[in-house]
Structure 1
Amino acid sequence: MTVGNSSPPGQRVSVLHGLVLAGALVIALAGARPYAGGWNDGSRLATVECLVDDHTLAIDRSIFVQVPAPGSSSRPLPYDPQEPLLTRGTYDKLLINGHFYSDKSPVPALLLAGVYQGLQWCTGLTARDRPDLFCYAMTLASSGLAYVVAVWCVFQLGKPLK
């Protein structure tokens, strides 16, 4: 007579894998915010928005640069309303030949622009109309995905330590 779990070892491992992935996913979903956290985020998200919506790297027309006044519309704001400095838009930008550009590397923005374009084709979502959903989706596609992959990799590295 054996005492303990009667499940085969492979099945227990599969359940553990699922729990680790599910836990990481829940944390990623709960940790994402529906607004840009600061000028850095705003500058990066402005580039993504303008690449897809305006087909340019210039961020002049972005909602993260031209922020609507609080209460001026029923649409959500792209920044945390508790942060008064953010009502003026991002200051992480460069003025070159009369246009503003993000001072951040464009490579992450190019990757996120692909995600945003796909999301826009499937749902019609635009950053200007729903900055809250745009910020949340881009956060999940970048930081959220990176977090889940990192948790999975650390979990896999720990397997030989059993």
Structure 2
Amino acid sequence: MRPKARDAEFEDFVRRRRSHLLGTAVVLTAGDHHLAEDLVQGVLVRLYLAWGRATRRGGIDAYARRALVNAFIDHRRRPSVARETVTADLPDRPARLTTAAFAEEAVDAELLGALRALPERMRAAVVLRHVTDLSVEDVADALGCSPGTVKSQTARGLAKLRELLPQAAPIPAAPYEGDLS
């Protein structure tokens, strides 16, 4: 693929899908907009470098989704994260970031707090399955695990969210997708 055509295709993808990736990252990070921006930027760099492979396979969205989940899960492993300390009061507070994905639909702060209580892979399974509405197989592909693992992680995550959010509207149980025969 010629560099100009590749750049144009990549730019078109970024214009169409960046807000969706950012929205997914915001929910994955349980409302940490700054971390979400960093994760999406890193994913876009990786995607640009692997553009030829991703387009040949035809799974650009799947590649970006998997790279986002991997970046989210690997975030805690970075040495710079281990050295950071969390404080209650920030020295200055920037204006809250908004994205096109969340401008129309506000995300409940209490829900984001409950999501923060879930382990990263479990949170990723719940978010990809119920927020981005992916199939079990697509979530398994994004997380690099079996569909059974996705189902168990999602079920456990929803159970934990039900415990943490008892006064909220009930979180519906995931429909059974197996064969009943």
Query: What TM-score results when the alignment is normalised by the length of structure 1?
Result: 0.28
Q: Normalized per residue, which structure has more helix?
A: 2
Q: Normalized per residue, which structure has more strand?
A: 1
Q: Which has the larger radius of gyration?
A: 1
